Structure 1
């Protein structure tokens, strides 16, 4: 074992006065190398550089600070990328859940605009029998003029359904979601929060709906005689989708048929829910091929193409932009390791003098780069997971609903995102360490020991 009396035998005279840190470095390195276990040696030295590196002159702790900055850069980059992926994925899932929850996966209607499907009962039964279809709901759609008072009048779309869609039923903020009940002999109506706020509606209020009918004689509204029905507000829902909350109101199928003068079997369309969302397009094509004209089957992605295009744009652009942070952080390791090599040139020369090969030194700095990546990735993943869980629990980041269709930033965690980001980041950090590793491997022992 080495001791302090062996300094003059080990080191040149110009290094006898070196700091105790440098002596401890050389002795520890030689001891580790004498174990004849290269992996342990490289791991030992890389951990020592990572947590205990010090410079030679004044401000010795600055080198350690630079390494911590490199680790911190990787941490912040990984955390930002993981959070961006979680938020974008959350946006996609939240928007899709709202749209599908409102209009189902496929809407089966007539090619002819405003033309009802007359054979509703048989068509519903045949749709139910198709493989992959999990639910079929009849819908009667009727544009109406809704009036609460002389100053509170607006045009809306009345949807008559057997029951409120399950998603909207969960979003009822006031009252209830029943569309088939009556209060005081008047049918119930469920309206959106936007409309209720604009018209000043509350649960229990009475409103009047006017539906214009074509082909009837009369003097009213330029030859069109309106049908009139009074409703009681049963419930108020809120999806944060203004195009839905501000336009659609819900009542029973029977009332909607009466306002639209439709016979009992006729419906405006069928909302079809599928068991496997990945088969939506193929199932829609099967429906059209089976029933032919005038039956039309449109998927939710076709009906709301603009909204889903906005979501796809976020999914493709935002992670790419945020991912640049990880790339920059990884390649900052080049500067950090080059600075470390510059500060430790003498020690590297001594290691070579003690028999350490250039290949071993190269592996040492490659391990150090990977180690920085592993530590930074682990801390970044932990930071992202902590913030994501806090956001899911408390909604720390709020959003304007009119712009983002939701009130808080959505989070959808996916283990695959964490795995891919970790693998790519560690690979980039290892690749960035390759250049400094080659520089260290080419250091000449004599010149390095005399380096000032």
Structure 2
């Protein structure tokens, strides 16, 4: 076996003169390197994009929510809280109150009136608010506490830009006081009923956060203190309970356990069900990966096959001489299989270095930017996973050896007399 590998190394990397095989081998190495780097970068970008967006969605809200039908408000009870905390896998539980309102900013200089935008105020425990800001969202602006009695609220950057406000500014909250403890309008109310149900309060922008999730998140969600919001609108009433789990893999099973434990009229749903459209979009991104991988792999494999065939033509006389000296056809086949392995290993190594270098360069300097409103991120996300590098490298090496079997058999089938006279 040592003799076959020595001949393979001489054939691949040490020609006696500046002949064509030198350029052919170099082209093959570059082709495999580019193909390997393209595979790794594709996987890094797709997996990085999915993990970043999924992380943002999960950190933005709780892992699961418990509500009653028709978004009906109900009284918070210690029994419900204790029941939820007793479910195995749940690590934290807190009540919340959601309200659909309109926000109006004050008129600016030269304006006839302020800006108006719809919003959903979510009253949460102050500890949950602190945890929300610590888990990823960037706090762009903040204002000190005020003693004027206005409701402190936390706005998303997109909504703040739409209203034209900054930290410390005041807003008017226009709420709709529904019947039977509900929040919202049904569309059957008369104009007089709507006007009489308007509930107006003054709020102050305590801070502006930015998650990068523009549509449906930073442009509409407003956070406030649960106790203060209940005092203003629905004393002691909540929209439901939020819960976080220790292991997201068990989330679906825990959600089912919660629903069965609390019983009617409660129901639970996970963050994956709440934002199902976005998670399906991420899944679609991953579904095209096999097609890309197959395409790039086929190109790399045919590259090595064509290279070996050209080398066989160039080394026909050498093959005939070796066969005449007693080298068996099996050994000739091993020579070209070893040659394919050496070329592929060099190409794979260079491809790994190229992919790692480009990834680190992009992560450091962020040269490629994305429209945040469309992709929820400003820069291309890259996930550097050693197992991913090993999987791609091993796959390319195995496929190269499998497809190199055909050219190696062609070389082994050459007859000495034919080869020497060619």
| Higher Rg of the two aligned structures | 1
Q: Which residue does 1:45 correspond to in 2?
A: 7
Distance 1:177 1:87 in 2: 38
Report Cα offsets for 1:195-254 as digits up to 9, x if no partner: 111111111111111111024999866354222221221211111112201010111002
Partner of 2:73: helix, strand, or coil?
coil
Partner of 1:419: helix, strand, or coil?
helix
2:30 to 57, 64, 72: 72
Higher RCO (C-alpha under 8 Å, 6+ residues apart): 2
2:329 to 358, 369, 373: 358
Residue 285 of structure 1 contacts residue 297 of structure 1 at CA under 8 Å; is this kept in 2?
Answer: yes
Q: Which residue does 2:357 correspond to in 1?
A: 386
Q: Does 1:153 align with 2:126?
A: no
In the superposition, the TM-score normalised over structure 2's length comes to: 0.90
Distance 2:302 2:157 in 1: 50
2:71 to 108, 114, 137: 114
Q: Which residue does 1:423 correspond to in 2?
A: 394
2:155 to 191, 202, 217: 191
Report Cα offsets for 1:299-323 as digits up to 9, x if no partner: 1111111111111111121353144
Q: Structure 1 stretches of 5 or more lacking a match?
A: 1-38
Residue 54 of structure 1 contacts residue 63 of structure 1 at CA under 8 Å; is this kept in 2?
Answer: no
Q: Which residue does 2:92 correspond to in 1?
A: 135
Q: Does 1:241 align with 2:213?
A: yes
Q: Does 1:377 align with 2:348?
A: yes
Distance 1:220 1:335, change over 3 A: same
Distance 1:183 1:362, change over 3 A: farther
Distance 1:189 1:160, change over 3 A: same
Residue 153 of structure 2 contacts residue 207 of structure 2 at CA under 8 Å; is this kept in 1?
Answer: yes
Partner of 1:113: helix, strand, or coil?
helix
Q: Does 1:172 align with 2:141?
A: no
Partner of 2:167: helix, strand, or coil?
coil
Residue 212 of structure 2 contacts residue 376 of structure 2 at CA under 8 Å; is this kept in 1?
Answer: yes
Q: Which residue does 1:433 correspond to in 2?
A: 404
Distance 1:255 1:319, change over 3 A: farther
Report Cα offsets for 1:100-135 as digits up to 9, x if no partner: 11122111111x213123244321222122210111
Residue 117 of structure 2 contacts residue 162 of structure 2 at CA under 8 Å; is this kept in 1?
Answer: no
Distance 1:433 1:324 in 2: 18
Distance 1:314 1:223, change over 3 A: same
**Cα distance, 1:184 vs. partner?**
3.9
Q: Structure 2 stretches of 5 or more lacking a match?
A: 107-112, 181-188
Distance 1:317 1:54 in 2: 46
Q: Which residue does 1:277 correspond to in 2?
A: 248
Distance 1:335 1:53, change over 3 A: farther
Distance 1:295 1:411, change over 3 A: same
Report Cα offsets for 1:376-397 as digits up to 9, x if no partner: 1111112112222222233222
Partner of 2:120: helix, strand, or coil?
strand
Residue 220 of structure 1 contacts residue 226 of structure 1 at CA under 8 Å; is this kept in 2?
Answer: no
**Cα distance, 1:173 vs. partner?**
3.5
Q: Which residue does 1:10 correspond to in 2?
A: none
Q: Which residue does 2:48 correspond to in 1?
A: 90
Distance 1:254 1:220, change over 3 A: farther
Q: Which residue does 2:233 correspond to in 1?
A: 260
Distance 2:74 2:325 in 1: 90
In the superposition, the TM-score normalised over structure 1's length comes to: 0.84
**Cα distance, 1:354 vs. partner?**
1.6
Q: Which residue does 1:320 correspond to in 2?
A: 291
Report Cα offsets for 1:32-58 as digits up to 9, x if no partner: xxxxxxx22222222222223478xxx
Query: How many pairs are equivalent?
Result: 404
Residue 74 of structure 1 contacts residue 326 of structure 1 at CA under 8 Å; is this kept in 2?
Answer: no
With 218-227 and 234-243 compared, the bigger mean Cα shift is at 218-227
Tell me how large the CA RMSD over aligned residues is.
2.2
